[in-house]
Structure 1
Amino acid sequence: MFYPFTDFTRPIASQSSCDSPSTPEFPELYNKSSPITMASLLDQLRGLSTVDCDTLDAHVARIYGPFADCTSNQAIVLAEITKVDTDGKLIYQSLIDEVIPIAHWMSGNQTDATVEELAAELLAVGLALRFAPHLNGFIHIQTNPKWCYSTEKTVKNAERIMAHVKHLSPNFDTSRVCIKIPATWEGLQACRVLENRHSIATLATMVFSMEQVALAVDAGCRYVAPYVNELRVHLDATYTDANKDRAALFCGAAQRYCDQVASATEAAHGSLNLQTQTQVMAASLTSVDEVMRLAGAVKHITVSPPLLTELEATPAAGWPGAGTVGAAAAAAITGPNGDALRLKELIRDQSQWRLAFTRAEAGESERKLGQAIGIFCDMQEQIERLVRRWDLTGKKAVSGG
């Protein structure tokens, strides 16, 4: 299964009735013969960084939750809505049947999105709301990647997502919704509009360079999500990101940059709003070693179900990699990308920022961003094709055809 990369004091809501898999994705999680008697790597990780869940599978949350946040994207939504039970029936059929008519109704009242696009948004929201009882923080919903080069369309997309939340769950606290937006120039300007004009929380995702981090912090994003591995590794089992060790150090450097900006803000104004301070959420992880290297180096780490399984099953005592825990915080990335003064100037000049981003890491940052956008666009289109098929099937069933 494709699992790409993912301080609140609100009480965790009780579990509501919802569609859920009758056969869990990871059956080994549900056959524990005895309780854990010693601290696991997951316990150790939770003591060093906030652990978020990179899935929309509520069964995983019931085993390992509660979590702070839940992260999602088009790939995760696609994986979830296509799951079937032991009889071969779609697990989320009732959600699908609910949202497609809503998408048709909404389509008649606006021209900004198609029925398929609206249904894709509603499916993501519906799945996230089903996961929310296992969280005490944000549900993260990613905007349509096809609009990542349009500030206006991305803002409208985010506003629609918030409206979908209120439509599907009128009593849900929308301050717990965070909109994930690809970290293009246009996307980060959309974050600025949403944070500053609409008080909508945002996460800058698909981050590979300090140029993106600096602009996200300036825009007021609640989170930046650097990818430790480029997205291709989750699709091609034969491919390894040769730059992942440096990317882990970059995550630590990004967190230090966020902390430095926060300290400067506090010194200038005499106070600091912790809820609006940008935090790093490391993402796109493929191994326990990668996760533990980031422990304590960043505020948040979003972890996929397979890695959660391995982290909980591994005792912290005697783990061979103990000496590497938190290693991503040990050394800063030096050189032009870490130049705070240069970054401060870049974020005020679009053309210079674009040029610097193009040149970052010898062009690798821009390449990886483009790759991630392309993959998520493919996933978005797959969801839309499924919606068209399900919609046609439903109409035939109603008409008796």
Structure 2
Amino acid sequence: MSNNEVKKQKMEESVLEQLKKHTVVVADTGDFNAIEEYKPQDATTNPSLILAAAQMPDYQHLVEEAIQYGKKLGGCEEEQINNIMDKLFVAFGVEILNKIPGRVSTEVDARLSFDKDGMVQRAKRIIALYKEAGIDKERILIKLSSTWEGIQAGKELEEKYGIHCNMTLLFSFAQAVACAEAGVTLISPFVGRILDWHVANSNKKSYEPSEDPGVKSVTKIYNYYKKFGYKTIVMGASFRNTGEIKALTGCDFLTISPKLLGELKKDLSKLTPLLTVKEAKAADLEKIHLNEKDFRWQHNEDQMGVEKLSDGIRKFAEDAMKLEKMLKGRLGK
């Protein structure tokens, strides 16, 4: 191959391939076909994604296996449904792990978001189910809501049980600081939902990627973590467009929906890393410490953070209940 041909090939490299050189790309889906197509390092799931996937014809065998598992364990209907739900989430996780080299994130029921001990127990149960399926806990991230209780559950799971946690529904800087101090493995700040709030609550209806409120939030968190040497991974999530993704090139991880992965794969423009450790080290940021009182106050001062965390917990809980209703209908057959 001539030098010109090599140069042309590099010039025609997709944004997705360029992005993978600077950032770990994660697929935000429960659809195995999308994972095979875009070849991400890791994958994330949540109740909404599992609800959608569980209604697809391709995955009915997983739903049926989970139902049979719940029936076999017995107990009252509520106990059976809890067991079926956990088994179903793990079944999707196992299938995903067969298609990726890295880790999968599996979410604890959002209705436990204010119950630290409940989250710890549910997380341990999910890890036990993965172990039964022959999957080591090193390949699992347990997703927990970034409430104060969720963050403390993450701290206990990491320190006491060596269970890695992905703190989700993260919107405020206070949440990010508390997660870093808790020593959790990874956080998922929600870029698109932050943008949604600003669009809904101000006169400004469109933003350039560099001015996008979600992009600015994740950039600040990334810079803070790198400046002060926190090991917690920053994984931008919940994107509304590829501009947001490009503006966060260089972030540790980015979890991206199949639709946007497809757009990045077709895009042949040149990509430049915008987040770097060097720039983070030079950022004008002050280190802060948050105890419970300080956390609750600072988070409460962020109206967007309060509203989006509350809204996110409700929506994930609603989808979990929809999934339960569907499973109850199948359980009686």
- TM-score, shorter chain, exceeding 0.5: yes
Give the CA RMSD over aligned residues: 2.9
What secondary structure, in the 3-state scheme, does the structure 2 residue paired with 1:141 have?
A: strand
1:102 shift after superposition: 1.6
Structure 1 residues 2-401: aligned runs within 5 Å = 38-65=12-39, 67-84=40-57, 91-106=58-73, 108=75, 114-167=79-132, 169=133, 171-230=134-193, 245-262=212-229, 277-296=231-250, 298-317=251-270, 325-327=272-274, 339-340=286-287, 343-344=288-289, 346=290, 349-360=291-302, 363-393=303-333
Runs of 4+ that moved beyond 3 A? 104-108, 231-234, 239-244, 325-332
- Aligned AA for 1:130? E
Tell me, which stretches of 5 or more residues in structure 1 are unaligned?
Answer: 1-34, 85-90, 264-276, 394-401
What secondary structure, in the 3-state scheme, does the structure 1 residue paired with 2:332 have?
A: helix
| Alignment: residue pair count | 315
Going from structure 1 to structure 2, the CA distance change for 1:242 and 1:205 (only over 3 Å counts) comes to farther
Going from structure 1 to structure 2, the CA distance change for 1:250 and 1:241 (only over 3 Å counts) comes to farther
Task: State, as a whole percentage, how many aligned pairs show the same letter.
Answer: 24
2-side partners of 1:207 and 1:201: how far apart? Answer: 17
2-side partners of 1:141 and 1:241: how far apart? Answer: 34
1:130 shift after superposition: 0.6
Going from structure 1 to structure 2, the CA distance change for 1:369 and 1:98 (only over 3 Å counts) comes to same
1:231 shift after superposition: 8.0
2-side partners of 1:181 and 1:106: how far apart? Answer: 26
1:153 shift after superposition: 0.3
| TM-score, normalised via structure 2 length | 0.86
Going from structure 1 to structure 2, the CA distance change for 1:94 and 1:375 (only over 3 Å counts) comes to same
Tell me, which stretches of 5 or more residues in structure 2 are unaligned?
Answer: 1-8
- Aligned AA for 2:312? A
- The question of whether the paired residues in 1 share the 8 Å contact of 2:28 and 2:256 is answered with yes
2-side partners of 1:202 and 1:290: how far apart? Answer: 25
2-side partners of 1:94 and 1:331: how far apart? Answer: 47
1-side partners of 2:36 and 2:176: how far apart? Answer: 33
Relative to its length, the structure with more helix (as a share) is: 2
2-side partners of 1:291 and 1:82: how far apart? Answer: 29
